[in-house]
A and B are shown apart, each in its own frame.
Chain A
């Protein structure tokens, strides 16, 4: 998984609780991304980062926020989890010289009850 870890790998939480997912990379890559994958929708971009403290929204960013205070860490926060946010979340990274080629972490399965 290209030096990418995600934590936790599985989480069950209740509606209305805050949740933070962590993506950690050891590749020193500039770009980091958060996707969610759902049956019938495929992979959709939530947020991405093009450097420390530089982030932007993807196509399904409502209800999510991100932070990147260090090159190696990209955090995804669900401020108040809803059942519609039950999904598998993937982090991806890409390097500055080959920004088009994204490599994915192992994923986090989140269930909101």
Chain B
């Protein structure tokens, strides 16, 4: 069974610091990776996607992918109290020749940014 592992946290960082969230996955064939942010009582919101090795930056967010190590991370620079949320890592299960795209989610890491 495919697994996506995250440290449940909570991860606590001071305002203005860099928050580093990590995720490992078991399926070496996985090709697509996503980070979702979920505020308490709300639905998951897609904030980053990454498909190839290396870094992808979007504003204060950087996603990093290392397929050889089966590792994906999310860095949040200049963390703000509004970044306090649970961050979910997700990996796509792709069917060759098919049209179905199923996400496998980690259980999430709770991030708290302290003013």
Contact = CB atoms under 8 A, between A and B. Distances in A.
Interface of A: 1, 31, 33, 40-45, 48, 50, 56, 58, 90, 94, 99-107
Given A48-B100, A100-B34, A43 B105 contact: yes
A37 B99 CA distance: 24
Contact of A43 (B32, B44, B45): B44
B107 A103 contact: no
Closest 3 pairs between A and B when the two form their complex, measured CB to CB: A42-B107, A104-B43, A43-B105
Contact residue range for chain B?
10 to 19
B76 interface: no
Contact of B101 (A1, A41, A90, A100): A100
Given A42-B107, A100-B32, A100-B92, A58 B46 contact: no
A45 B92 contact: no
B32 to A, nearest CB: 5
Interface of B: 32, 34, 42-46, 49, 88, 92, 99-103, 105-108
A40 B107 contact: yes
A9 B108 CA distance: 23
A45 B102 contact: yes
Contacts of A90: 43-44
B107 A105 contact: no
Nearest to B44: A104
A102 B99 contact: no
Given A42-B88, A48-B102, A101 B43 contact: no
A101 B49 contact: yes
Nearest to A4: B43
A106 B43 CA distance: 5
